[in-house]
Structure 1
Amino acid sequence: MRTNAAEILLHPQRLAILRALTQSELTTKQLAERLSDIPQATLYRHVALMHDAGIISVVSERKVRGTQERTYCLGPAALLTQEAFREATPEDHYRYFTTYVAGLLDQYGAYTRRPHLDLEADGVGYRDHVLNLTDGELRELLAEIRGAIAARADNAPAPGRTPRLLSTITMPIDHPTGDTK
């Protein structure tokens, strides 16, 4: 099994660690509190592996009761490059996508286990939209979506703000006539 960043990163528990670190810099103790469903020893192994791979970085260290407490942030290898995706086999892509969807299911499962659900008030939704687009129209749409997200990506946590997961999946589907273009 390869141990490139994609192989390391695309694991449900490691994705949960990555997702937590996209929200703020955290110590391993804080990660353990936020990700209480991951056994502590497993969490420490994942953090060490992700650190060694450059997926997460240490931003500070301090002594706490005789041990070094590290605070982590996202590292340079946290984002998969286009090259990594180009080099992946179709089987790799299917496995990556399956892992990605499993992570979404975990997040949705955690949401549905909350004591009081209000999908409308929480802004929860999932929809499919089939759009007939040229390649240029698709690029334009994706640029608009990325722009809307980028305009809000640096919003700091604040009273009244809730971390929200917005996931996108885009792919061509078979045309009713059998044409894909």
Structure 2
Amino acid sequence: MRPPTICDRTLLKLIDKQGLSQAETARRLNVSRQAVSQRLKELRGQQTKVTVAKKVEQVVDRKLDAIDQLQKINENANELLDLCMAWQRGDDVALQILESQRTNRTVRIGDEEIDAQEFKFKDPRELALKAMAEIRNQLRLQLEIFATLYDMKAVAEFQNAVLEAIGEVDHDVRTRIIQKLNSQRAIRSAVRFS
């Protein structure tokens, strides 16, 4: 097979970005329309693998961002849980933090003024239970993220394996399947559900 004489980047720029027809693109590149058509078929066939790989890569990047965010939230929830449990046990450091939540007020009861201390906090057992529930929800979400990521990788690997097997048997059938998948993807992305 002869190496392509058409620069793929230029070809795709003219077709996709500038919206030129294949005939106009062929004139600008000084090649035949058939050469442009054939090269586009080859490129569009390769595009499915690239698209799947890019989508998986984007999801992996987002997953990592989500995991980082979950990690931060989890650290804060665990810190709050530790503090609540320490309050419950009567730990000196935790009680000192509790003291920082105290305000002194003067309260008038009849003619007499009394110094009163006001604490602004909930029952540490209730806060501990809420922190535990948050941690449990985070673990569930993390499991869902990993399961989705694994499923996407498995689908991409399966698709590549099937296309390679078909390509070994009949390269033209493989190319037609890829073109069909690409056209269906284009139709799905053009339709917006409301």
TM-score, normalised to structure 2, is 0.21
Question: Which of 1 and 2 has higher RCO (CA within 8 Å, sep 6+)?
Answer: 2
More helix by share: 2
Structure of higher CA gyration radius: 2
